[in-house]
């Protein structure tokens, strides 16, 4: 018998889990609001004063994503981490014993929501930027940056979900991911010697694809940056799958 | 069990099941079966390995040796397990932020069950009024009821309930007892664990008793009571010395001991026989009291060697 209907049911269950729990559906919405809101607010305040958001429109357009991604990290971690912490994972596994199916359904939902957040956040950010900043956001890099703006949130959610599954613990995942993405990674890139390595961190590499201008200090191109993040994401997702299969001690 | 019976319904078969954690045997070469149409009581003191056994059946833990099959297959191979096995392991293992209804809705979706089942099982367990309330505010008893509702969701032929009586008030205990009996009467296999012997004596048709992960008894409840609920007969005579000479002496083939102030206790004999013996020897009895050992005592005696933690345990 085909496994397709079972997989579809597993996905449907994950969707219902999301819609029935406020702490799961609020973060993606919050992410869109923060992303669009911060970009628009900064554009309105600094639009004609600060060159950093006009010289490279990408930096100005995706300025809000720096805030919006906080909610995305939380979302990715909570999506599976809440089940570890409440031990509801046992109820989920009793309902969907195929580990790969349960985990895959979560990944698919996370990716889909991430894409939705990316599409809304990117469209809103462009609109907010265009309305407040007197700069040309079209440019040759537009298609690439906009595509990356849709993909980056999805990759980030899946990355965080994978890491959380790998660690099997919500608190540990939050403790690892939050400072890494928001503090260490931007900080390390500022240290000349460490930059050579830190530039390959997933968020650093992925965010480069959002920029319009080239950065000669980086060892890779815009698209390659996104590919590096995708590789990190694939590794995390695979590590999570291994851990889910090993969970049964 | 005949092969005909086996074909009737999905049944749990546990064979040589062993589970070690860090070299400690939690479940030790355990074998038993759960048959349809009866309530099987799974008894043992706390820490005896009941919950681990249930987790092994559900594929939540991997056995060190042996196997547990549901309807002839490992649980993890079932595509829509809720339609075949309803389980309640830990009533606290759910997210308090969801409503009772929300929790059951995702469970129903996961196994392609119709959404109307959610309302049906909530009504069945008496939670219809609380359907839209967040689980966070539920008492343990309400959570147990929700757990039972979740187990019933797929209308499964096999039910596996770990300590469902925990946290229930007397009315709730009576309710679950009746429910389990009804479910078995409908032809379902019901495995229910408890550390309360007396509760199981009322509810279960069949008892599986374990201690330290090992099988101690696997018998019909009536048979178990016959075998382990020892009858003691307490006797007193007008002339205590004569009684002592009679029961304390040899030749009568009775298991008798003096208990206190001239009273004797005889184990394993009918009161008629004792009365006849006394009469034949001119001993006038003024008390013959039949004392049935409570099942709780039988259970304690049986598991005494296997209790994991004991207050008076000396290192």
Strand pairing report for B12-21 and B24-34: antiparallel
Min Cα–Cα distance to chain A from B167, Å: 19
Give the pLDDT confidence score for residue B315 in this predicted structure: 38
Pick the residue from chain B with its C-alpha nearest to A23: B97
Higher pLDDT, B266 or A51: B266
CA-to-CA dists, residue A220 to A144, A208, A213, B45, angstroms: 15, 9, 13, 63
Confirm or reject contact between A217 and chain B (CB < 8 A).
no
Please tell me the distance from the alpha carbon of residue A103 to that of residue B300, in angstroms, as a whole number: 44
Closest to A114 (Cα-Cα) out of A143, A144, A79: A79
Q: Do B62 and A6 touch (CB under 8 A)?
A: no
Contacts of B132 in chain A (CB under 8 A): none
Report the percent of chain A where pLDDT is more than 90. 77
Facing residue for A16 by CB, picked from B60, B77, B109:
B109
Please tell me the distance from the alpha carbon of residue A30 to that of residue A223, in angstroms, as a whole number: 28
Q: Do B97 and A3 touch (CB under 8 A)?
A: no
Contacts of A81 in chain B (CB under 8 A): none
Please tell me the distance from the alpha carbon of residue B282 to that of residue B279, in angstroms, as a whole number: 5
Give the pLDDT confidence score for residue A51 in this predicted structure: 74
Interface probe for B, chosen from A82, A95, A106 (most Cβ of B below 10 Å), is: A95
Is the pLDDT reported for residue B226 higher than 80?
Answer: no
Q: Do A94 and B90 touch (CB under 8 A)?
A: no
User: Quick one: average pLDDT of A78-90?
Assistant: 96
Give the pLDDT confidence score for residue B116 in this predicted structure: 97
Q: Are A203 and A156 in contact (CB under 8 A)?
A: yes
Lowest mean pLDDT among A95-104, A109-118, B29-38, B275-284: B275-284
Contacts of A90 in chain B (CB under 8 A): 55, 58, 60, 89-90, 93
Confirm or reject contact between A106 and chain B (CB < 8 A).
no
Facing residue for B93 by CB, picked from A5, A16, A87:
A87
Q: Are A217 and A105 in contact (CB under 8 A)?
A: no
Closest to B75 (Cα-Cα) out of B1, B183, B134, B156: B156
- Tell me the ipTM for this assembly: 0.91
Contacts of A82 in chain B (CB under 8 A): 95
Tens digits of residue pLDDT in A26-55 = 999 999 999 999 999 999 988 777 777 778
Min Cα–Cα distance to chain A from B9, Å: 20
DSSP state of A184: I
Q: Are A72 and A161 in contact (CB under 8 A)?
A: no
Contacts of A94 in chain B (CB under 8 A): 58, 60, 81-82, 87, 89
CA-to-CA dists, residue B206 to A69, A118, A233, B67, angstroms: 57, 58, 52, 21
Confirm or reject contact between A97 and chain B (CB < 8 A).
yes
Tens digits of residue pLDDT in B139-188 = 999 999 999 999 999 999 999 999 999 888 999 999 999 999 999 999 99
Give the pLDDT confidence score for residue B310 in this predicted structure: 52
Is the pLDDT reported for residue B222 higher than 50?
Answer: yes
Pick the residue from chain A with its C-alpha nearest to B100: A20
DSSP state of B131: T
Question: Chain A to chain B, count of Cβ pairs less than 8 Å apart?
Answer: 93
Phi and psi torsions of B259, nearest 5°:
-105, -60
Give the pLDDT confidence score for residue B10 in this predicted structure: 46
Contacts of B79 in chain A (CB under 8 A): 1, 3, 6, 98
Give the pLDDT confidence score for residue B300 in this predicted structure: 78
Instruction: Name A67's Cβ contacts closer than 8 Å, sequence gap at least 6.
Output: A34, A35, A37, A38
Confirm or reject contact between A98 and chain B (CB < 8 A).
yes
Lowest mean pLDDT among A81-90, B29-38, B89-98, B284-293: B284-293
Interface probe for B, chosen from A4, A18, A27, A91 (most Cβ of B below 10 Å), is: A91
Global pTM exceeds 0.90: no
Is the pLDDT reported for residue B305 higher than 70?
Answer: no
Tens digits of residue pLDDT in B17-71 = 999 998 899 999 999 999 999 999 999 988 899 999 999 999 999 999 999 999 8
Facing residue for A88 by CB, picked from B78, B93, B112:
B93
Contacts of A100 in chain B (CB under 8 A): none
Which two tokens mark A120? 């809304």
Q: Do B79 and A3 touch (CB under 8 A)?
A: yes
Quick check: helix, strand or coil at residue B92?
coil
Give the pLDDT confidence score for residue B3 in this predicted structure: 38
Residue B252 confidence class, pLDDT cut points 50, 70, 90: confident
Min Cα–Cα distance to chain A from B308, Å: 22
User: Quick one: average pLDDT of A145-163?
Assistant: 97
User: Quick one: average pLDDT of B70-80?
Assistant: 93
- What mean pLDDT, rounded, does chain A reach? 93
Asked whether the CA dihedral A123, A125, A130, A131 is positive or negative, the reply is positive
Q: Do B109 and A12 touch (CB under 8 A)?
A: yes
Give the pLDDT confidence score for residue B202 in this predicted structure: 87
Min Cα–Cα distance to chain A from B50, Å: 16
């Amino acid at each position: 018998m085909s496994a397709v209907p079972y997989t579809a049911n597993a996905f449907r269950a994950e969707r219902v889990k999301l819609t029935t729990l406020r702490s799961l559906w609020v973060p993606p919405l919050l992410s869109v609001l923060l992303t669009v809101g911060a970009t628009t607010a900064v554009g309105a305040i600094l639009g004609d004063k600060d060159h950093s958001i006009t010289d490279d429109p990408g930096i100005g357009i995706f300025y809000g994503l720096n805030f919006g991604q906080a909610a995305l990290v939380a979302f990715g971690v909570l999506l599976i981490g809440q089940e570890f912490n409440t031990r509801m994972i046992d109820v989920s596994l009793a309902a969907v014993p195929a580990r790969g199916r349960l985990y895959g359904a979560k990944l698919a939902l996370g990716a889909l929501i991430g894409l939705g957040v990316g599409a809304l956040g990117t469209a809103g950010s462009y609109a907010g930027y265009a309305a407040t900043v007197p700069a040309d956001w079209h440019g040759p890099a537009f298609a690439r940056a906009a595509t990356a703006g849709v993909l980056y949130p999805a990759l980030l959610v899946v990355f965080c979900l994978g890491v959380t599954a790998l660690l099997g613990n919500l608190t540990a995942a939050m403790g690892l991911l939050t400072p890494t993405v928001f503090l260490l990674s931007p900080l390390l890139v500022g240290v000349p010697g460490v930059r050579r390595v830190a530039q390959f961190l997933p968020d650093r590499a992925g965010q480069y694809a959002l920029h319009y201008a080239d950065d000669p200090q980086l060892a890779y191109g815009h698209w390659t940056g996104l590919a590096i993040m995708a590789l990190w994401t694939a590794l995390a997702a695979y590590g999570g799958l291994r851990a889910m299969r090993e969970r049964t001690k | 069990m005949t092969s005909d019976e086996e074909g009737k319904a999905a049944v749990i078969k546990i064979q040589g099941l062993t589970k070690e954690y860090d070299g400690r045997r939690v479940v030790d070469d355990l074998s038993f079966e759960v048959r349809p149409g009866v309530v099987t009581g799974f008894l043992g003191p706390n820490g005896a390995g009941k919950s681990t056994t249930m987790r092994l059946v559900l594929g939540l833990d991997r056995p060190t040796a042996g196997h547990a099959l549901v309807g002839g297959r490992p649980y993890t191979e079932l595509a829509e397990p809720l339609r075949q096995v309803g389980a309640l392991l830990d009533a606290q293992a759910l997210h308090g932020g969801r409503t009772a209804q929300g929790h059951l809705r995702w469970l129903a979706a996961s196994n392609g069950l119709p959404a109307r089942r959610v309302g049906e099982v909530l009504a069945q367990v008496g939670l219809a009024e609380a359907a839209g309330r967040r689980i966070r505010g539920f008492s343990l008893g309400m959570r147990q009821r929700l757990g039972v509702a979740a187990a019933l969701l797929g209308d499964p032929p096999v039910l596996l309930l770990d300590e469902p009586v925990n946290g229930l008030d007397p009315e709730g205990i009576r309710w679950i007892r009746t429910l389990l009996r009804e479910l078995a009467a409908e032809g379902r296999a019901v495995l229910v664990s408890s550390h309360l012997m007396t509760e199981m004596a009322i509810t279960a048709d069949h008892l599986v008793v374990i201690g330290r992960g090992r099988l101690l008894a696997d018998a019909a409840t009536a048979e178990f009571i016959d075998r382990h609920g020892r009858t003691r007969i307490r006797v007193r005579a007008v002339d205590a010395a004569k009684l002592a000479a009679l029961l304390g002496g040899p030749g009568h083939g009775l298991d008798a001991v003096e208990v206190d102030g001239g009273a004797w206790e005889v184990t394993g004999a009918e009161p008629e026989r004792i009365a006849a013996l006394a009469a034949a020897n001119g001993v006038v009895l003024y008390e013959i009291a039949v004392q049935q050992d409570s099942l709780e005592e039988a259970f304690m005696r049986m598991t005494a060697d296997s209790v994991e933690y004991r207050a008076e345990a000396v290192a």
